[in-house]
């Protein structure tokens, strides 16, 4: 049983690291998007804008749930 708890603990740590990295990626992408929108360089086309909006939306939709959000989600599902 202790081995199982260690395995679960290790998986939890990996998940926490993944969630932190993912949150950082979303934050950086959001910052870059905001800069592009604000400064609108001449090479930044409408197609670039549409793709960036779609990518940002997908990132925000698929971001891992935080611990509090996961708990609320589990309670809502019961």
Q: What is the pLDDT of residues 30-67, one digit of tens each?
A: 999 999 999 999 999 999 999 999 999 999 888 765 55
Instruction: Look at the block and give the residue holding tokens 């592009």.
Output: 36
The torsion defined by the Cα of 13, 17, 19 and 22, in degrees rounded to 10, comes to -160
Encoding tokens for residue 66? 């935080």
Encoding tokens for residue 50? 């549409």
Distance, in Å, from the CA atom of 53 to the CA atom of 34, rounded to the nearest integer, reads 11
Distance, in Å, from the CA atom of 35 to the CA atom of 29, rounded to the nearest integer, reads 10
Distance of CA 53 to the CA centre of its chain: 15
The domain locations on the chain are 2-77
Indicate yes or no: pTM above 0.75.
Answer: no
Distance, in Å, from the CA atom of 12 to the CA atom of 10, rounded to the nearest integer, reads 5
């Amino acid at each position: 049983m202790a081995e199982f708890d260690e395995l679960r603990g290790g998986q939890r740590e990996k998940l926490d690291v993944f969630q932190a990295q993912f949150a950082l990626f979303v934050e950086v992408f959001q910052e870059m998007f905001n800069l592009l929108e604000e400064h609108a360089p001449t090479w930044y086309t409408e197609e670039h804008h549409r793709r960036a909006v779609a990518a940002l939306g997908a990132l925000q939709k698929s971001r891992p749930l935080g611990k509090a959000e996961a708990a609320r989600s589990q309670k809502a599902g019961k």
